[in-house]
């Protein structure tokens, strides 16, 4: 049984979009002419006219708010899992800051616990935070655990890192990664990637 690692923020949910529309756009309603589709960089602090620290503080405050606990799960991925999830094992792999990891884990298990049984983080560093560093990046974690076949992530660097350690990466389309695929095409690619991996092991009879 193959294993898929799912990024959480902006893959399993719409964290950036909800933060942008409910927090940043609300606070800048008088002079805001940007839309979510304009965020073609991540982090988008330069586009928003913020320092990186200002942006992270605002996003982290939202992560820790009641509104974040009410983030809706990605319905397209839920539908995909209903149709294909039984054919694989699933885990969460996120770069959430350590201060918000417990909120993120609770949200994942609430909405995706039917499939996702373990939650892993490579903490996104924060100013004045001193914590042990086990992995510098997701590909360090992927190399260490040596159990993952496919990574679904919105960060092109994470996809490149996965490829560097021999793991298939599926880039989830968001404005900042300029993916050429639609959402449906991306999920079709994920389905194809699972079948392709089964075929590599001579299990062409396996249906997912």
Domain end (from 50, 69, 88): 69
Task: Answer yes or no: is 132 within a domain.
Answer: yes
- Residues 111 and 136 placed together within one structural domain of the fold: yes
Query: Quick one: CA dihedral 150, 56, 120, 116, positive or negative?
Result: negative
- Residues 51 and 95 placed together within one structural domain of the fold: no
Task: Answer yes or no: is 91 within a domain.
Answer: yes
Q: In 10 A of CB 175, how many CB atoms? A: 19
State the pLDDT at residue 156. Answer: 98
Domains identified in the chain, total number? 2
Using alpha carbons, list the distances in angstroms from residue 175 to 17, 35, 154, 191, 192: 10, 11, 9, 23, 24
Name the residue range of residue 85's domain: 2-13+73-200
Query: Quick one: CA dihedral 207, 199, 197, 2, positive or negative?
Result: positive
- Residues 101 and 29 placed together within one structural domain of the fold: no
For 21-50, letters b (16+ CB in 10 Å) and e give eebbeeeeeeeeebebeebeebbbbeebeb
State the pLDDT at residue 204. Answer: 37
- Asked if residue 9 lies in contact with residue 96, where contact means CB atoms within 8 angstroms, the answer is yes
Along the 208 residues of the chain, how does pLDDT read in single tens digits? 899 999 999 999 999 999 999 999 988 876 678 999 999 999 999 999 999 999 999 999 999 999 999 999 999 999 999 999 999 999 999 999 999 999 999 999 999 999 999 999 999 999 989 999 999 999 999 999 999 999 999 999 999 999 999 999 999 999 999 899 999 999 999 999 998 755 555 543 333 2
- Residues 54 and 91 placed together within one structural domain of the fold: no
Task: Answer yes or no: is 206 within a domain.
Answer: no
Model confidence, pTM: 0.92
Using the structure block, give the residue that is written with the tokens 């918000």: 100
Question: What's the CATH code of the domain at 141?
Answer: 3.40.50.1000
């Amino acid at each position: 049984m193959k294993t898929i690692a799912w990024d959480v923020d902006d893959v399993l949910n719409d964290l950036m979009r909800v933060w942008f529309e409910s927090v940043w756009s609300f606070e800048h309603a008088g002079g805001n002419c940007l839309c979510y589709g304009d965020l073609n960089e991540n982090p988008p602090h330069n586009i928003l006219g913020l320092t990186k620290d200002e942006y992270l503080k605002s996003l982290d405050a939202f992560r820790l708010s009641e509104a974040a606990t009410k983030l809706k799960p990605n319905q397209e991925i839920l539908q995909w899992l209903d149709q294909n999830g039984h054919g694989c094992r699933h885990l969460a792999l996120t770069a959430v800051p350590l201060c918000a990891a417990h909120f993120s884990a609770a949200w994942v298990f609430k909405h995706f616990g039917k499939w996702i049984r373990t939650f892993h983080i490579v903490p996104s560093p924060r100013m004045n935070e001193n914590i042990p560093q086990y992995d510098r990046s997701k590909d360090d974690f992927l190399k260490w655990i040596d159990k993952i076949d496919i990574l679904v992530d919105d960060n092109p660097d994470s996809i490149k890192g996965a490829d560097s350690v021999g793991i298939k990466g599926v880039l989830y389309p968001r404005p900042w990664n300029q993916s050429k695929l639609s959402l449906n095409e991306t999920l079709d690619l994920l389905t194809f990637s699972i079948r392709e991996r089964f075929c590599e092991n001579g299990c062409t009879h396996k249906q997912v």
